[in-house]
Chains A and B, each alone.
Chain A
């Protein structure tokens, strides 16, 4: 589904990702871990298409297409979903209006008609139940005045609504109490299918107690230094990122 080859990314002359390789197949859940400031969120932003980053070398192929040539909204319509680490507030724009616009844009891209209002409301109600969000939330303005936990749950709710092919969840677990974490994990697990894939970007191993990844990658200094199964996450948790630095030096 997604193939990243020899990716080099910089922002204002500072190289953030270098020589990064990653392969994600349909049906897989990948966890990307690593200390702060090593380029995890940059990777998410580059896949989503944020233009402040400059891709200097390498390629990203998504569903057989050159992802780097696609506009942000086209990537989204083709099924790439980014769960933001810091979801922005958009005052005055109701969640319902926002999601209806979004759902219909994606449907239009697929050659489908707009979803009738009744079907849309039913879809919202179903998905609200799935991720256990407050039913009042859809009447509020996008993220406006939401608590940290509400914002994160809202990201998962949007993911459920848009039914993406590839979801990248950028530190969705950070700042969540254990109950909210369980709800978020439950949502991700419920949406997991053979034809979609998820990249979990996380700082802590905690989230992986609830979402079992197929693969775990450790990113350090702009590239993936170690990949393995879920046991790698446990090893990291025990030994800490310091272990990685020594490990890195040893390489």
Chain B
């Protein structure tokens, strides 16, 4: 069995060992989804009436919709009445890292995750006087001085209702798609971020620094607003293995960039991918979309996807403002029986708009990795440009790589370029590196990281280093 699976397996066992299941607090509501469930969720969160209405309307739309089947993925039917839509399961706090499974710690160390972060991720109670708290305080102060709002979504609903009301659903409407509608009806929590006019965020906004970021639940909702001429780089997720007892995850992320604003969104997704036989694992059905609303605005998505059993995710940009720009950089790794259908949509509406798509898929084991993308040049989007590059790399001969590019051009002055390659790590490349004293696993890691470099380079420095190691760990044992 691959090392990484082994580690995750151990991790899973260890959670049960520490009484994960029996320890759920009684704040959960019964299974199933009705209007009453939604009223209850909204009431528990003490939400204003307009938000309850928003949820209920989304629910009504969702009920009329059918689950999409066009993605190149297979999974057993989901029983939506068998899901608990509101619960705040809290893991039993461990006393110290000594109580954490040593193999999990080993993975953390391989990834180079700091001790403090290790404690947070493995559910060890963090002492209030530790450094991280002061870091957080300094961090909050810096943001406050600049007028940047960075808090949980629930907090934003209470403290900044006008902003939430104005922008919620403005990029991903309630009825956008089946999973987005479901999320709009039952979303649990998530992040909210507002950068005021003319402000450049001096730090990268990482969910790691946001207190209470850990248990956002399975229906996460994120809203990021970059006001005129602002700049922010936002990091979501972390490279450590993440295990959740909820199988279905349907998140929505909305980004709005006003005139001259730039928003960079980077994420590493490492949810439990299931075991080496393809059992278990998270279904990750996410809608991520950015609206480059103002002229000269820019939205950039960078993602490293290594986890989840099934991934359905297309971070997109709607380029509404003239001269606006959209970027999508992605590395998606699938191993064992993982399935990923991921890509991007670039909708050009404004004049002289520009978009870039760089997608690097890596398939190993029995997995299937699909790129699906849409580039649309509307009639008004004159003199616009897109460049797409979709590369696939295969490890072994039992996996699949697929590319589904859709290109729709409705004006004559725009240029759309699409390049695609498929490669295999050749025996000759491996032999060459081994002949220089590098073992097979390290050789594969070197080749894969070289292949994905263009995308990894787009990640913030610290994240990039971890992501490189993560790629190697995800592919451990995939050859030979």
Contact = CB atoms under 8 A, between A and B. Distances in A.
A98 B426 contact: no
B436 A92 contact: no
B330 to A, nearest CB: 16
A82 B435 contact: yes
A97 B450 CA distance: 10
B437 A102 contact: yes
Contact of B437 (A77, A88, A92, A94): A77
Contacts of A109: 437
A90 B435 contact: no
A93 B446 contact: yes
Contact of A97 (B426, B435, B437, B446): B446
A88 B428 contact: yes
B457 to A, nearest CB: 10
Interface residues of B, number: 22
Contacts of A84: 432, 435
Interface in A40-70: 48-50
Given A101-B442, A105-B439, A141 B450 contact: yes
A73 B437 contact: yes
Contacts of A49: 434-435
A87 to B, nearest CB: 7
Given A87-B432, A88-B432, A98-B433, A93 B438 contact: no
A101 B446 CA distance: 9
Given A50-B431, A101-B442, A90 B447 contact: yes
A218 interface: no
Contact of B436 (A91, A141, A158): A158
Contact of B433 (A48, A50, A90): A90
A162 B437 contact: yes
20 contacts: A49-B434, A73-B434, A73-B440, A76-B436, A76-B437, A88-B428, A91-B450, A92-B449, A92-B452, A92-B453, A93-B446, A93-B447, A98-B446, A101-B442, A102-B436, A102-B437, A102-B438, A106-B437, A158-B436, A162-B437
A141 B451 CA distance: 11
A225 interface: no
Nearest to B451: A92
B138 interface: no
Interface in A86-143: 87-88, 90-94, 97-98, 101-102, 105-106, 109, 141
B147 to A, nearest CB: 41
A94 B449 CA distance: 11
Interface string B404-445: 000000000000000000000010110111111111101000
A218 to B, nearest CB: 26
A231 to B, nearest CB: 33
Given A102-B438, A158-B436, A72 B450 contact: no
B467 to A, nearest CB: 15
A105 B447 contact: no
A86 B58 CA distance: 62
Given A49-B434, A92-B450, A102-B437, 14 more contacts: A71-B434, A71-B439, A76-B435, A81-B435, A88-B429, A90-B433, A90-B450, A92-B451, A94-B450, A98-B433, A98-B436, A105-B438, A105-B439, A105-B442
Contacts of B429: 88, 90
**Residue picked from A73, A75, A105, A162, most chain B C-beta under 10 Å:** A73
Contacts of A94: 450
Contacts of A101: 438, 442, 446
Nearest to A99: B436
Contacts of B438: 73, 101-102, 105
B37 to A, nearest CB: 49
B50 to A, nearest CB: 50
Contacts of A105: 436-439, 442
Contacts of B428: 88
B450 A48 contact: no
A158 B435 CA distance: 11
A48 B435 contact: yes
A82 B432 CA distance: 9
B159 to A, nearest CB: 46
Nearest to A82: B435
Contacts of B449: 92-93
Interface string A136-168: 000001000000000000000010001000000
A105 B441 CA distance: 13
A145 B434 CA distance: 22
**Residue picked from B428, B437, B438, B439, most chain A C-beta under 10 Å:** B437
A90 B429 CA distance: 7
A101 B450 CA distance: 13
A88 B431 CA distance: 10
Contacts of B435: 48-49, 72-73, 75-76, 81-82, 84
A73 B451 contact: no
Contacts of B440: 73
Contacts of A73: 434-435, 437-440
B269 to A, nearest CB: 22
Nearest to A87: B432
A91 B451 contact: yes
Contacts of A162: 436-437
Given A73-B439, A101-B446, A141-B450, A90 B432 contact: yes
A102 B429 CA distance: 14
**Residue picked from A48, A71, A90, most chain B C-beta under 10 Å:** A90
Contacts of B454: 92
A97 B436 CA distance: 13
Interface in B50-101: none
A92 B454 CA distance: 8
**Residue picked from A49, A87, A94, A101, most chain B C-beta under 10 Å:** A101
Contacts of A76: 434-437
A154 B450 CA distance: 19
Contacts of B451: 91-92
Nearest to B454: A92
Contacts of B442: 101, 105
A152 B449 CA distance: 25
Contacts of A87: 432
Across chains A and B, which 3 residue pairs bring their CB atoms closest together, nearest first?
A: A92-B450, A93-B450, A76-B437
Contacts of A102: 433, 436-438
Nearest to A76: B437
Contact of A72 (B426, B434, B447, B452): B434
Interface in B445-480: 446-447, 449-454
Nearest to A81: B435
